Structure 1
Amino acid sequence: MSPIAHEPEFQQAYEEVVNSLKDSTLFDKQPKYQKVLPIVSVPERIIQFRVTWENDKGAQEVATGYRVQYNSAKGPYKGGLRFHPTVNLSILKFLGFEQIFKNALTGQALGGGKGGLCVDLKGRSDNEIRRICYSFMRELSRHIGQDTDVPAGDIGVGGREVGFLFGAYKSYKNSWEGVLTGKGLNWGGSLIRPEATGYGLVYYTQAMIDFATKGKESFAGKRVAISGSGNVAQYAALKVIELGGTVVSLSDSKGSIIAQNGITAEQVEAITEAKVQFKTLEQIIGEYSAFSNNKIKYLAGARPWVHVGEVDVALPCATQNEVSGDEAKALVAAGVKFVAEGSNMGCTAEAAHIFEGERLSAKSASEPAVWYAPGKASNMGGVAVSGLEMAQNSQRMSWSREQVDQELKKIMVNCFNDCLSTAREYTNEDNAEALPSLIKGANLVGFIRVADAMFDQGDVWA
């Protein structure tokens, strides 16, 4: 059964998985797996509810809240909450569907889900945001729990919102439990959790560079184009800078900044401080002293990809479908060798096809044209550390920064190796010399792990 046409984001995510499976030899070698696809593509449960609150002007507002509990074969539903005016069921189903396989790639006992609220938090006071969170959690608390469904943050839901949501849950349920991840450090949060998605993205990309260059190259000296300026982009940029790379771009919904000589760690920290106040990049570069002495170009209404000049690595970290086919061609022309998604489904289907075509055109595995990693693999560091946060909550313990970072790096490298080996096992490509497809590898690993659990539990039967 195919998804319905009026859910385009979900349709795209579904077709990516289907195409990866059909273009492999999995169904030829093990036909039983064909039975899983129509079952796993339907959520176990979709919860839709009304959220009302009083704004700061004393007027009542209403918005639609959602939780898509997609698949629990591998563990409790796990996935973020997105508070944004673009939230709709198609986007949440696409994100939840991706989350099933992303969570399986971590190797942890995590199912897949996603939720959110169709609301714009910009310009609202802390008190109003608290009222929104308490109203949202009033209904959501009926459907979640540490052994049932463990949400986290996503776009529009940062540390402040997670705190309000956790306080609301504790109040309504009279229970302190690890029901949300991304919590404050002094009340159950984990070190490295804010950094995890960005750091993990860089660790995964470093594993790609290591393999493709046989350990001869690293991020040192690489020119790296990054989109976005939120949590993922910020920490990816800081880790790239730490490893000796040059970050040449960041962006937000209003425009992009291009810095041919590199964005500094001090500038990223200024962006981090300002974005909590919902300032735009244009405002930030005009107001913060960190930007006073550097030649940074601001491009209103533009994404960075066609403006960055020569680059080695591209890390889309903003939102879905942020790299078009034409932008992918521009990146190829700019010399990009490695593309890894920090956002979920950051590349359009056309862009992914272009990058995959470049990979297949390589004359040998040691000289890749472009190697592309999908978000379900390259950006799963956030949910991986969320799983580690859940483990710490269960133990009533806090691990050191070094311990969590070491575990994150190990999980990302293991994920890369799993994607690589599984793509090789089930490859069905004419160019045997090309590097394996990480899209196919990620989709195959995640699908097989979830499918095996569904067979074992009777969700699918022979």
Structure 2
Amino acid sequence: MLTDEYVKRVYAKVEERDGDQPEFLQAVREVFETIQPVFKDHPEYEASGVLERLVEPERLVKFRVAWVDDAGKVQVNRGYRVQFNSAIGPYKGGLRFHPTVNEGVIKFLGFEQIFKNSLTGLPMGGGKGGSDFDPKGKSDAEVMRFCQSFMTELYRHIGQFTDVPAGDINVGAREVGYLFGQYKRLANQFTGVLTGKGLEFGGSLARTEATGYGLCYYTQEALRVLRNDSFAGKTVVVSGSGNVAIFAIEKAQQLGAKVVTCSDSNGYVYDPSGIDLDVVKDIKLGHRGRIAEYAERVDGAEYHEGCRGVWTVPCDIALPCATQNEIDVEGARALVKNGCTVVCEGANMPSTPEAIEVYQKNGVLYGPAKAANAGGVAVSGLEMSQNSYRLSWSFEETDERLKGIMDNIVAESLAAAKQYGDEGNLMEGANIAGFLKVANAMVAEGII
């Protein structure tokens, strides 16, 4: 509930202006509901219009992307880049290529990125971008031509000290490579303007694994501090089968858990013996196949149409790693009914507000996305540092830094939650801890 008069007034204005952007409204309301206790101690935030400025992007670029397919036909997509907030550093956030991408989705992702980046402790502001282009079913040549056209417009708005994009859904090593090559061609500069690059041209070891590994480091630390527990011996349900899901499965297995599911947009597989990650990697990373193939190759595994059914599988821990709002109230109730006591989010905003309410009413340990999946952008920040130094750290050194960042996010979230009255609430703590750093910077920098 919104009870603070200042918060209510600003949110009403957001509804009036952006009522056609449900994902953005959902993200803003979640943050606003949890940061309300802060304003009693900080009247300067209202005086300097922190919230009014926070919900309005500093810049939003929307552009046409025209490219030619293999049949010689001209195709046109829409491209976006939202540069939301640079109070604590250059804009930082991924690019998503997916048919569902629109202005509201990009704004929700960029808004979440402000707080996620703040929580890492690294000097990065919030941004996001992408296109309604779908690389699925496209040839490498088509993807290259699209990426080159996309970057031909985007390059004038980004730079290593201005805005540093990365990958997101459907933007992996192939796409980042094409994007970086075109930027270098246009700008005649070899700089760390994109993260998630190949190791041969400035990428960081552990970046591919970072979001999934970081999710598990966060979950393990939250379990240790709040439950005196760990992944060891637990049954885990994971959604998705992209980079985040694959490396969350890998790290959860390394920490002693049995992961029994993964999914894609068509359906999910259930393997009671534990997911064979080599098979998943071959399907998804080897030849970009569909997850249904897993059940054809692994004895005892079951494939089920419909990806949301994954939440009906009994488990101790759920790690949603697919997309926004993939767990609704029915999914949350099914998880609780079947014994799930921990939900930590690898995707961006994968739980609806109603699902989160179910978690909280039933004592589920809930790790929100902006904290739990911050490992990817954390290592992106470390990649930026390595690019500036013109050197590369070992996998072990980067991974150790990642774990330290994720452990610190848990600590800072719990400290903020305790200070403002809801001890143990990781969602409230993450929002408050992330917000305070950005708000203080905005006040210090004046009305801009």
Distance in structure 2 (CA, Å) of the matches to 1:235 and 1:33: 40
Q: What does residue 80 of structure 1 align with?
A: 94
- Secondary structure, counterpart of 2:92 in structure 1: strand
**Structure 1 residue identity aligned to 2:418:** R
Q: What does residue 288 of structure 2 align with?
A: 278
Aligned counterpart in structure 2 of residue 453 of structure 1, from 420, 441, 444? 441
Q: What does residue 10 of structure 2 align with?
A: none
- 8 A contact 2:91–2:162 mirrored in 1: yes
- 8 A contact 2:107–2:128 mirrored in 1: yes
Distance in structure 1 (CA, Å) of the matches to 2:404 and 2:447: 31
TM-score where L is the length of structure 1? 0.91
The Cα shift of 1:176 comes to 0.4
Q: Which has the higher helix share?
A: 2
Distance in structure 2 (CA, Å) of the matches to 1:448 and 1:48: 30
Q: What does residue 393 of structure 1 align with?
A: 387
Aligned counterpart in structure 1 of residue 430 of structure 2, from 442, 448, 455? 442
- Equivalent pairs, count: 432
Distance in structure 2 (CA, Å) of the matches to 1:302 and 1:99: 26
- Secondary structure, counterpart of 2:237 in structure 1: strand
The Cα shift of 1:436 comes to 1.6
Q: What does residue 240 of structure 1 align with?
A: 252
Q: What does residue 305 of structure 2 align with?
A: 300
Q: What does residue 330 of structure 1 align with?
A: 334
Answering whether residue 56 of structure 2 is matched by residue 51 of structure 1, we say: no
The Cα shift of 1:39 comes to 1.1
**Structure 1 residue identity aligned to 2:131:** L
Q: What does residue 321 of structure 2 align with?
A: 317
Q: What does residue 362 of structure 1 align with?
A: none
Note closer, same or farther for the CA distance 1:392–1:283 as it changes in structure 2 (3 Å cut).
same
The two structures, once aligned, show a CA RMSD in angstroms of: 1.2
Q: What does residue 162 of structure 1 align with?
A: 176
The Cα shift of 1:104 comes to 0.3
Note closer, same or farther for the CA distance 1:344–1:306 as it changes in structure 2 (3 Å cut).
closer
- 8 A contact 1:227–1:304 mirrored in 2: no
The Cα shift of 1:270 comes to 2.5
The Cα shift of 1:284 comes to 4.2
- 8 A contact 2:60–2:83 mirrored in 1: yes
Identity over aligned pairs, percent: 52
- 8 A contact 1:102–1:446 mirrored in 2: yes
Q: What does residue 252 of structure 1 align with?
A: 264
Q: Alpha-carbon deviations, 1:360-396, whole Å to 9, x = none? A: xxxxxxxxxx110110000000000000000000000
- Structure 1: runs of 5 or more not aligned: 360-369, 430-434
Q: What does residue 398 of structure 2 align with?
A: 404
- 8 A contact 1:79–1:96 mirrored in 2: yes
Answering whether residue 214 of structure 2 is matched by residue 204 of structure 1, we say: no
Q: Alpha-carbon deviations, 1:376-418, whole Å to 9, x = none? A: 0000000000000000000000000110000000000001100
Aligned counterpart in structure 2 of residue 130 of structure 1, from 124, 144, 156? 144
**Structure 2 residue identity aligned to 1:351:** A
Q: What does residue 238 of structure 2 align with?
A: 226
The Cα shift of 1:208 comes to 1.1
Q: What does residue 357 of structure 2 align with?
A: 353
In the TM superposition, structure 1's runs of 4+ consecutive aligned residues that sit over 4 Å from their partners are none
Answering whether residue 119 of structure 2 is matched by residue 105 of structure 1, we say: yes
Distance in structure 1 (CA, Å) of the matches to 2:436 and 2:45: 8
Q: What does residue 14 of structure 1 align with?
A: 28
Answering whether residue 191 of structure 2 is matched by residue 144 of structure 1, we say: no
**Structure 1 residue identity aligned to 2:69:** N
Q: Alpha-carbon deviations, 1:78-135, whole Å to 9, x = none? A: 0000111111000000000000010000000000000001111111111111100000
Q: What does residue 364 of structure 1 align with?
A: none
- Which has the higher mean CA deviation after the structures are superposed, 389-398 or 1-10? 1-10
The Cα shift of 1:267 comes to 2.7
- 8 A contact 2:45–2:443 mirrored in 1: no
- 8 A contact 2:240–2:321 mirrored in 1: yes
- 8 A contact 1:121–1:156 mirrored in 2: yes
- Secondary structure, counterpart of 1:2 in structure 2: helix
Distance in structure 2 (CA, Å) of the matches to 1:452 and 1:306: 40
Distance in structure 2 (CA, Å) of the matches to 1:285 and 1:279: 13
Distance in structure 1 (CA, Å) of the matches to 2:134 and 2:282: 23
Distance in structure 2 (CA, Å) of the matches to 1:299 and 1:265: 18
Aligned counterpart in structure 1 of residue 280 of structure 2, from 256, 268, 271? 268
Distance in structure 2 (CA, Å) of the matches to 1:61 and 1:83: 15
- Secondary structure, counterpart of 2:362 in structure 1: helix
**Structure 1 residue identity aligned to 2:266:** K
The Cα shift of 1:254 comes to 0.1
Q: What does residue 181 of structure 1 align with?
A: 195
Answering whether residue 52 of structure 2 is matched by residue 42 of structure 1, we say: no
Q: Alpha-carbon deviations, 1:201-246, whole Å to 9, x = none? A: 00000011101233xx321100001000001000000111111100
The Cα shift of 1:265 comes to 3.0
- Secondary structure, counterpart of 2:100 in structure 1: coil
- Secondary structure, counterpart of 2:327 in structure 1: coil
- 8 A contact 2:280–2:291 mirrored in 1: no
Q: What does residue 120 of structure 1 align with?
A: 134
TM-score where L is the length of structure 2? 0.94
**Pairwise mapping of residues 24-35 of structure 1 onto structure 2 (< 5 A)?**
25-34=37-46, 35=49
- 8 A contact 2:196–2:203 mirrored in 1: yes
Distance in structure 2 (CA, Å) of the matches to 1:80 and 1:413: 23
